[in-house]
Amino acid sequence: MPDSSLIIPAWLTEWIETQEIPLWGAADLRDFLTPRYETGGRFPFAVSWAVPMNPQIMAGIRKGPNQAYADEYSRVNNRINELSVELAAEIKRRGFRSKPLAASERSDKVNIKGDFPHKTAATSTGLGWVGRNCQLITRPFGSWIRLGTVFTDIEIPCGPPVEKNFCGSCMRCVESCPAKALKGNAWYPGIPREELLDVHACDRWKKEHYFQYHKGHNCGICSSVCPYGLKVLKKNLV
């Protein structure tokens, strides 16, 4: 059970506001295999946040990625990595353990995954749910975001986690995927990734068709057509 007596440290709130991070929270990850810290234990918590992508750029890749999207992808990833390193250092200065998680890094090239899923931290934090496009969908920005995560042992208010999806019967992302890699199943906490996405089919298609964009690491079509993202675009055009 969450400890209702916990409060968010003022310095952490001030740091988040100074960095103009619009969506963030803390995640209780004690039920997950998080990275280990120096003495062998696993990090019990994480700070998770989202950095929005440019809506006009995201809306412009419905037929495939372009250079503007590749540049935006790099810009936001670099910003997240900078923030992660800074926050991890600030946490350590406050006397706690911390470890930043890279924004987009494949440490397991065979299974095409990183050290820990950013989406797991984000759903545990309550930032959003995982859509049929196998990406985090948030209310304010849809899936037009990139995620940052810093593991820590600071005990602060966490969650509540999101435990259901809000995609309804929408299948736009599934229908738009040129690789036919999306399975069309609805997400729930703990669902195996392979029930949502054929990651190898996705990876092959990107490398065969979009290699010029970060050696085939970019596509974004399934995110571009998401109605939650398109709502963001409409708001910005008003």
Residue 233's pLDDT is what? 84
Model confidence band, residue 58 (pLDDT cutoffs 50, 70, 90): very high
- Top pLDDT among 2 and 60 is at 60
**pLDDT tens digit string along 118-175?**
999 999 999 999 999 999 999 999 999 999 999 999 999 999 999 999 999 999 999 9
Buried b (16+ CB within 10 A) or exposed e, 38-60: eeeeebbbbbbbbbbbbbebbbb
Measured between alpha carbons, how far apart are the two ends of the chain, in Å? 43
Task: Quote the pTM value.
Answer: 0.94
Model confidence band, residue 1 (pLDDT cutoffs 50, 70, 90): very low
For the chain, the domains span: 10-237
Residue 2's pLDDT is what? 47
In this structure, of 2-16, 89-103, 165-179, 186-200, the range with the lowest mean pLDDT score is: 2-16
Asked if 158 contacts 25 with a C-beta cutoff of 8 angstroms, the reply is yes
